[in-house]
Amino acid sequence: MSQEENPMDVFTAVLTRRSAKRLVGPAPGDEEFRYLLQTAATAPDHGVLRPWRWILVRGQGLHTVVDGLAEEDPAVPRQQLVDKVVRAPLKAMLVFRPRVGHRVPEWEQLAAASAMTHALLLLLHARGYAAIWRTGRLCTSRTLPGTLGLADGERLLGALDIGSPDPASGPQRRRSPVDVTDHVATLV
C-alpha cells in the first residue's frame, strides 16, 4: 500500500479497533512493520528520545520464547506455555529502554512508549490487521530478558500479538463514544 493511501479515517479506527484474542495469518512482514512503526513513532515523545525498541518474533522464535518461560517455571506444562505464546503469527516484543538521568523523567518516557504503541495498534487496524497487547508473565519474567538479549536497564512492557482477524470471530462492531462528563473539569 502506498504512503498516500488512507485506508481508514481516524475516528473509524479508534471506534472499531478491538483487542483480538483469535488471530490467523498473515501478519505484516518486517518491512511493513517498520513502515507502520515509522508513522507510529511520530506519537508525542518529549525530547524525541524514542525510549523503546521492538523485537519481532515469528516461527521458531516463538518456541524460543516458550523455552525461556519454561526454564523459569518448569512446573508449568509446556503445552500451556505454547498455547499462550504461539497464538499469533507475529509477537512483537516491546522493550522499554529509558534514558536514565535525562531531563525528561522516566515516567514521561514510559508515556511516550505507550503513546507510540497505541498509535501502532491503530495503524495495524487501519491496514486490516488485528492485535492485542499482552503483558503479565512476559513483563515479569526473569529469564526472557536474557533469552531476548535485553541490555542492562531495558525491560519488557509486553508484546503485541499481531495477525489477521479470525473470520470465525465475526465482524468488529463500532463502539459508541463513552460519557466522560465526570472525567472533565474546567477551571476559568
Q: What is the mean pLDDT of each run of 10 residues along the chain (188 residues)?
A: 61 88 96 98 96 98 95 92 94 98 97 98 95 93 94 97 89 84 93
Q: Please report the pLDDT score of residue 187 as a whole number.
A: 94
User: How many CB atoms are closer than 10 A to CB 185?
Assistant: 5
Q: Please report the pLDDT score of residue 4 as a whole number.
A: 47
Interatomic CA distance for residues 53 and 86, integer angstroms: 21
Give the start-to-end residue ranges of the domains of the chain: 10-164
Q: Please report the pLDDT score of residue 168 as a whole number.
A: 84
> What phi and psi, each to the nearest 5 degrees, are found at residue 91?
-115, 110
Q: Please report the pLDDT score of residue 124 as a whole number.
A: 97
Q: Please report the pLDDT score of residue 8 as a whole number.
A: 82
Q: Which three cell numbers stand for residue 116?
A: 507510540
Q: Please report the pLDDT score of residue 169 as a whole number.
A: 82
Q: Please report the pLDDT score of residue 5 as a whole number.
A: 59
Interatomic CA distance for residues 168 and 130, integer angstroms: 13
User: How many CB atoms are closer than 10 A to CB 157?
Assistant: 17
Interatomic CA distance for residues 134 and 24, integer angstroms: 16
- For residue 74, what are the CA distances in angstroms to 43, 69, 110? 40, 8, 32
- For residue 70, what are the CA distances in angstroms to 20, 136, 156? 25, 15, 17
Question: pTM here?
Answer: 0.90
Domain 10-164 CATH (choose: 3.40.449.10, 3.40.50.10320, 3.40.109.10, 2.40.50.140)? 3.40.109.10
46 half-sphere exposure, CB direction, 13 A CA radius: 12
Closest CA to 116 of 61, 38, 6, 2: 38
Q: Please report the pLDDT score of residue 6 as a whole number.
A: 55
